[in-house]
């Protein structure tokens, strides 16, 4: 996106940015023109200490330097081609996903307890480490665990089947336990430092909504919760886009007592989560221990579902 002849431009070239402001900005994670160009005014002011009007000029100048805005369709195509897929280890599930979980997008897996959301997360955390010819991206993983359900033992089992060195597979996953929703949001901001290295192409948030659901109880707090969730989703979307990484989030369901026909369950977070997720997958238990994964929302794929199994070695098309 940056013009060739302007490659050398840095944050220090922005109007109103002296060495000490540049340092403060860098400390707050605003160390590239892109980071400033897409920053919110409030964030920039609070982390750099400059006035509103200076911050506004900085953002505008960064945007001008970045040549942001419209791009031609062939540029969009090039960007789409940069989008990569991570295999799920189930051919049927991969097919439903158009080849696998996409980078540059948020994929939300929602379903009841035990439907396999965390298992899908573990499987992706292993598979993304595999070489590209095996459906991986040769990359490391960031895992934000809010329910304390990350299991290294499970990674070992899955790594073994995938033919990865088990120790390396564990070392390639950076896990942070989030203790409440604020902590969870802070961790996703911190994740950016790791993403900047270019070594991480998968960010998992398991569960996206559990803390929010527990902390904001009752109708009176609903709008506050939704606003905060919205902010969280936007940050995740920005990370997916800026670093072309795959963001996978899990979400619980609640029952809708007024639904008489069809499936009486809906995902938590309503439109806020639904609209910011690029892909949405509904997971449920099927016949004979199988799992059904249904793609319910996608910009470019038909609604479709498939059957798979959670086996000792991980996700699979057949019950082993």
* Among positions 140, 154, 201, 280, the unique one binding ligand GTP when judged by CB under 6 A: 154
Among the candidate windows 44-52, 86-94, 115-123, 130-138, which touches ligand GTP by CB under 6 A? Answer: 115-123
Interface with ligand GTP, residue 123, by CB under 6 A: no
Contact partner at residue 21 from ligand GTP, Mg ion, none, CB < 5 to 8 Å by partner kind: none
CA–CA distance, 1 with 35 (Å, rounded to integer): 13
Q: Which is nearer to ligand GTP, 102 or 145 (CB)?
A: 145
CA–CA distance, 73 with 79 (Å, rounded to integer): 10
Instruction: Pick out residues in 38-67 that bind ligand GTP (CB under 6 A).
Output: none
* Among positions 113, 218, 287, 288, the unique one binding ligand GTP when judged by CB under 6 A: 113
Contact partner at residue 104 from Mg ion, ligand GTP, none, CB < 5 to 8 Å by partner kind: none
The least distance separating ligand GTP from the CB of residue 126, rounded to whole angstroms, comes to 13
Contact partner at residue 228 from Mg ion, ligand GTP, none, CB < 5 to 8 Å by partner kind: none
Q: Which is nearer to ligand GTP, 129 or 311 (CB)?
A: 311
74 burial type by CB count under 10 A (0-12 exposed, 13-18 middle, 19+ buried): exposed
Q: How many residues bind ligand GTP (CB under 6 A)?
A: 14
Contact partner at residue 70 from Mg ion, ligand GTP, none, CB < 5 to 8 Å by partner kind: none
* Among positions 75, 165, 312, 319, the unique one binding ligand GTP when judged by CB under 6 A: 312
The closest alpha carbon to 46, from 70, 62, 27, belongs to: 27
* Among positions 114, 198, 264, 270, the unique one binding ligand GTP when judged by CB under 6 A: 114
CA atoms within 13 A on the CB side of 1: 19
Among the candidate windows 38-46, 109-117, 176-184, 211-219, which touches ligand GTP by CB under 6 A? Answer: 109-117
CA–CA distance, 57 with 104 (Å, rounded to integer): 29
* Among positions 119, 139, 172, 244, the unique one binding ligand GTP when judged by CB under 6 A: 119
Interface with ligand GTP, residue 146, by CB under 6 A: no
The least distance separating ligand GTP from the CB of residue 295, rounded to whole angstroms, comes to 17
Task: Point out which residues pair with 206 in neighbouring strands.
Answer: 145
* Among positions 103, 115, 244, 277, the unique one binding ligand GTP when judged by CB under 6 A: 115
**Binding characters for ligand GTP, 249-278, by CB under 6 A (x = yes):** ---x--------------------------
Q: Which is nearer to ligand GTP, 135 or 314 (CB)?
A: 314
Contact partner at residue 64 from Mg ion, ligand GTP, none, CB < 5 to 8 Å by partner kind: none
Contact 176, 188 (CB under 8 A): no
The phi, psi pair for 250, rounded to 5°, reads: -110, 155
2 burial type by CB count under 10 A (0-12 exposed, 13-18 middle, 19+ buried): middle
Interface positions with Mg ion (CB under 5 A): 117-118, 149
Among the candidate windows 75-83, 106-114, 137-145, 271-279, which touches ligand GTP by CB under 6 A? Answer: 106-114
For the beta carbon of residue 301, count every other beta carbon within 10 angstroms.
15
Contact 89, 315 (CB under 8 A): yes
Contact 294, 91 (CB under 8 A): no
């Amino acid at each position: 996106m940056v013009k060739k002849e302007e490659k050398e431009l840095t944050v220090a070239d922005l109007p109103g940015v002296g060495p000490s402001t540049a340092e403060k900005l860098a400390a707050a994670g605003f160390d590239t023109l892109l980071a400033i160009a897409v920053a919110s005014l409030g964030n920039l002011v609070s982390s750099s200490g400059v006035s509103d009007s200076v911050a506004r000029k900085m953002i505008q100048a960064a945007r001008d330097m970045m040549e942001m805005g419209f791009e031609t369709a062939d540029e969009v195509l090039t960007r789409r081609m940069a989008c990569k897929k991570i295999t799920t280890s189930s051919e049927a599930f991969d097919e439903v996903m158009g080849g696998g979980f996409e980078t540059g997008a948020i994929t939300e897996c929602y379903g009841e307890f035990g439907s396999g959301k965390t298992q899908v997360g573990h499987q992706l955390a292993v598979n993304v480490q595999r070489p590209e010819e095996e459906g991986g991206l040769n990359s490391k993983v960031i895992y934000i665990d809010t329910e304390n359900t990350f299991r290294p033992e499970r990674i070992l089992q899955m790594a073994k089947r995938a033919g990865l060195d088990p120790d390396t597979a564990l070392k390639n996953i950076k896990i942070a336990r989030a203790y409440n929703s604020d902590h969870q949001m802070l961790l996703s901001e911190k994740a950016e430092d790791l993403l900047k290295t270019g070594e991480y192409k998968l960010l998992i948030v398991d569960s996206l909504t559990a803390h929010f659901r527990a902390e904001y109880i009752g109708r009176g707090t609903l709008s506050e919760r939704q606003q905060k969730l919205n902010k969280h989703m936007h940050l995740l979307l920005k990370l997916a886009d800026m670093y072309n990484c795959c963001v996978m989030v899990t979400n619980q369901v609640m029952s809708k007592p007024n639904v008489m026909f069809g499936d009486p369950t809906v995902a938590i977070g309503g439109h806020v989560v639904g609209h910011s997720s690029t892909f949405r997958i509904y997971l449920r238990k099927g016949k004979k221990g199988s799992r059904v994964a249904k793609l319910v929302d996608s910009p470019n794929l038909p609604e479709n579902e498939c059957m798979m199994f959670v086996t000792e070695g991980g996700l699979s098309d057949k019950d082993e």
